[in-house]
Structure 1
Amino acid sequence: MKPMLNNYEFKIYVITFSDIKRFFIMEIIIGAMTYSIAMKLFHNVVLASAGGWVGTEGLKRLGIVKKVMWK
């Protein structure tokens, strides 16, 4: 039987202002915009929520927002 070694790790996570700004722009502003557009299209809260999520994730995956934000 192997003895358990105590492996204590101390981790430091650095959150920069650009990370906070990117999160705020991507998730909150674009998410609200895509939710609003989906709500006008579908007139259903469940579909609008899914549309807001899909719209935000789609824009992140395509990299459209990064190109516009970091010009």
Structure 2
Amino acid sequence: MRPMLHNQEFKVYIITKGAVLRFLVIEIIIGTMTYSIAMKLFHNIILASVGGWVGTEGIKRLYAVSKIIGK
């Protein structure tokens, strides 16, 4: 039997509409666009997948840097 803990925590995570929309735009729409562009450039599924990933991560990094500079 496990002993009862008296200091139990209850965590609530709030997901905002803006966070969901940002995820959809960045991950799905921009990811698809960068994949499509890379596929037309390289004609290779593996390189196009890498290009889609790099494009999406690049956009996220630019967004993070712009938030830091904007402060």
TM-score normalised by structure 1 residue count: 0.77
One-letter identity of the residue aligned with 1:32: T
For the pair 1:44 / 2:44, whether they are aligned, the reply is yes
Tell whether 2:25 aligns with 1:28. no
CA drift of 1:5 comes to 8.2
Q: What residue number does 1:58 align with?
A: 58
Q: Which residue of 2 aligns with 1:10?
A: 10
Give structure 1 regions of 4+ aligned residues with deviation exceeding 6 angstroms: none
Gaps of 5+ in 1: none
Q: Which runs of 5 or more structure 2 residues have no equivalent in the other structure?
A: none
TM-score by length of 2: 0.77
| C-alpha RMSD of matched pairs (Å) | 2.0
Count of aligned pairs: 62
For each residue in 1:10-46, what CA deviation from the matched residue of structure 2 results, as whole angstroms up to 9, or x when unmatched?
1100001000000000000000000000000010101
- State the one-letter code of the partner of 1:10: F
Describe the SS at the equivalent of 2:14. Answer: coil
